[in-house]
Amino acid sequence: MERRLVIKQVLIMAGGLALLPSCLREEGKSTVQLKNITVSLDEENLLAEIAETIIPRTSTPGARELKLHLFVLKMLDDCYEEADQLRFVKGLELFKEQTRDQFGKSFGKLSVHQRESMLSKLENNPSQELSAFYKITKEKTIDGYLNSRYVMTSLVIYELVPGRYNGYYPVKTA
């Protein structure tokens, strides 16, 4: 009972989005509560590496710090057709295999250059699963990033109450 209460109060924040932690914290399962898809903790960590490769930490936070991989999983779980979810999960499998075949080690152990070149090849991959997996991951990582609390309050400010409208706002034409 007490433990549940604690879990309830400790929401996982992904880019500002409040996510429920997975109830039982089963060993090896994803940290975030998912209704439709099953992702292991290892896969979740791999997804974090991929998201971090897409949007790395520079002088400002990257995808891992903003937990955008959890946002990807949340969106996939709630907003995508079952067929897409299956393709994604299968694509993730294939991705692991491909990495092993190609480099003999896991994605997390590759150099930045290797990671980037590996992902770039997925953009228009002949494998439907790989390409769906990558497209969803990249698209949602970017959406999650641009709409994260961090970016919206620190980098590209979102104004809730502009209080003004100027239809002739001067800008540089270059």
Partner 1 sequence: MSNINIDAAKANTYDVIVIGSGISGGWAAKEFTEKGFKTLVLERGRDVQHIKDYPTTNKFPYEFEHLGEPALAIKKENPIVSRCYAFKEDAMHFMVKDKEHPYVQEKPFDWIRGYQVGGKSLLWARQTQRWSDFDFEGPARDDFAVDWPIRYKDIAPWYSYVEKFAGISGNRDGLSELPDGEFLPGFPLNAAEDYFKGIIRNKYPNRHVISARCAHLSKPNQIHLDQGRAKCQNRTLCQRGCPFGGYFSSNASTLPWAAKTGKLTLRPDAVVESVIYDDAKGKVTGVRVVDAHTKETTEYYARIVFVNAGALNTNLILLNSKSKRFPQGLGNDSGVLGKYVAFHNYSARITAEYDGLKQFATDGRNPAGGGYIPRFRNVFKQETNFKRGYAAGIYGSRYMERDRSAIGKSLKENLLHAKLSPWIMGSHMMGETIPKESNFVNLSASEKDAWGVPLLNISVAYDENDALMKQDYIEQLTEMFTEAGFKNITPNVASQAPGLDIHEMGGARMGRDPKTSILNEWNQLHTCPNVFVTDGACMTSTSTQNPSLTYMAFTARSVDYAVKAMNRGEI
Residues near partner 1 (CB under 8 A): 15-18, 53-56, 58, 62, 74-75, 78-81, 112, 116, 119-120, 138-139, 142-149, 151-152, 155-156, 158, 160-171, 173
* Rounded-to-integer distance, Cα 172 and Cα 17, Å: 35
Q: Which is nearer to partner 1, 104 or 162 (CB)?
A: 162
Min CB(95)–partner 1 separation in Å: 15
What are the Cα distances from residue 50, in Å, to 5, 92, 122, 134? 33, 11, 12, 9
Least distance in Å: CB of 161 to partner 1?
5
Residue closer to partner 1 by CB (options 93, 116) is: 116
1 or 160: whose CB is closer to partner 1?
160
Tell me the C-alpha distance between 10 and 13, whole Å.
9
Alpha-carbon span 26 to 123, nearest angstrom? 34
Kindly state the smallest distance separating residue 118's Cβ from partner 1, in Å.
10
Neighbours of 83 (CB within 10 A): 9
Report how far apart, in Å, the C-alpha atoms of 43 and of each of 32, 46, 93 are. Answer: 12, 5, 9
User: Token pair for residue 51?
Assistant: 């998201």
CB 115, min distance to partner 1, A: 9
Nearer to partner 1, 23 or 26 (CB): 23
